[in-house]
Chains A and B, each alone.
Chain A
Amino acid sequence: MEKIYLPEMDTQVLVGKEINAGDRTMWPVTRISVLRGCGDKVQTIQIKPLAMLIIEPTGSYAVSFAGEPMTIEAILELALPLRDVLEKAGKAWQD
């Protein structure tokens, strides 16, 4: 009897490359879903931008692409690597 392979969905929330606009730095947070078929072959990729962390000299804030208000804590829950980014930015302001 032949084996039936069901596709697997692998979802990751990742921080994209920073975008610089003057003094402002934006860190996009995207959700990448990869659908893998038999033999671990990639069948589809879906990229969905979720939110953005904006760091300005005056402060930092988060923007959700869903249109809902978003706190810094909420974006840090989504993407942990942003914690390091915020810490670095905080140190830079102190200097």
Chain B
Amino acid sequence: MQFSYLAIMFILLLIILLGILLLAPFNLSLNIGKNGPLVCGSIKLAWLGIALRKVEISPRSADDLLISIRKKEAGKEERAVDENKTTGKKIATANENELDGKSEGRERSETTDATHHPSVSSLIDAAPPLAKILWDLLKSIRFKKSSCCLCFGLSDPAQTAIISGYLWFLASAFGTFSANISINPWFEGERLEGELIAEIEARLLSPVFAVIKALRVREIRLLLKEMLGWM
């Protein structure tokens, strides 16, 4: 009797926790600005008022920022090259084992070559339900506050005017999300200054609901099976 009572309590607790996880919104706040040569800002992901991740961009020049990004990219490339070298060695040893007639080597080479690409027809079939899922996911995102202020100038004033026209075209599309966008062209030389402030709120309920709804669609299930190599 006591055990069943505890079990019911445990299940109820799980349901409450799941409910909180699905209903409590995640908040992402962005604040990035460039004033003169300095770039500064912050990115914060919070849930129930608790900061899950916070990145502060300390004021530094755009050149320094670009150099640090390039250094990171170069580091990643070096790591990728090293990994390729090690995997290449592994494949070579596996091939040697295969030549020796060892079954282990065969299995290894098979696992390395195993890649599953879905067929084009199944991708086309799954496109309409996928679009619907994406739309459902987009609906779960709510812009609480968004403002973008940009002041830019190119070496040619005519080019500046043309580019600002293109940017206004894009801004009008974002205007439907009630974003406060201000684009100011600067005709007296090259310049780039601006500020981006956004507060985005998203609940997990809608994406989870969208995924469950998607899994009920036959085309999506077929696509997933093909991607996982179950077909």
Which listed residue (B156, B164, B184, B187) contacts A12, Cβ 8 A? B187
Q: B188–A45 contact, CB under 8 A? A: no
Cβ-based interface call for B159 (8 A)? yes
Q: A14–B157 contact, CB under 8 A? A: yes
CB contacts (< 8 Å) of B158 on chain A: these are 16-17, 28, 30, 47
- A14-B157, A17-B159 given; A42·B165 CB < 8 A: no
**Total A-B Cβ pairs within 8 A:** 33
CA distance A28 to B159 in the complex (A): 12
Q: Kindly report which residue of chain B lies nearest to residue A17, judged by CB atoms.
A: B156
From 159 to 190 in chain B, residues with beta carbon under 8 angstroms from any chain A beta carbon are 159, 161, 164-165, 168, 182-185, 187-188
- Produce 1/0 per residue, B5-27, CB < 8 A to A: 00000000000000000000000
CB contacts (< 8 Å) of B161 on chain A: these are 32, 45, 47
CB contacts (< 8 Å) of A16 on chain B: these are 156-158
Q: Kindly report which residue of chain B lies nearest to residue A14, judged by CB atoms.
A: B157
CA distance A45 to B160 in the complex (A): 11
Query: A17 to nearest B CB, angstroms?
Result: 4
Query: B10 to nearest A CB, angstroms?
Result: 57
Q: A42–B184 contact, CB under 8 A? A: yes
Cβ-based interface call for B35 (8 A)? no
CA distance A52 to B30 in the complex (A): 46
Query: B123 to nearest A CB, angstroms?
Result: 43
CA distance A41 to B181 in the complex (A): 9
Cβ-based interface call for A89 (8 A)? no
Cβ-based interface call for A72 (8 A)? no
CB contacts (< 8 Å) of B168 on chain A: these are 42
CB contacts (< 8 Å) of A39 on chain B: these are 182
Q: B185–A34 contact, CB under 8 A? A: yes
Instruction: Report which A residues bind B (CB closer than 8 A).
Output: 12, 14, 16-17, 28, 30, 32, 34, 39-42, 45, 47
Knowing that A41-B182, A45-B185 touch, tell me 10 more A-B residue pairs with CB under 8 angstroms. A17-B158, A28-B158, A32-B157, A32-B187, A34-B185, A39-B182, A42-B164, A42-B168, A42-B185, A47-B161
A-B contact pairs, 27 of them (CB 8 A): A12-B187, A14-B188, A16-B156, A16-B158, A17-B155, A17-B156, A17-B158, A28-B158, A30-B157, A30-B158, A32-B157, A32-B187, A34-B185, A39-B182, A40-B184, A41-B182, A42-B164, A42-B168, A42-B184, A42-B185, A45-B161, A45-B164, A45-B165, A45-B185, A47-B157, A47-B158, A47-B161
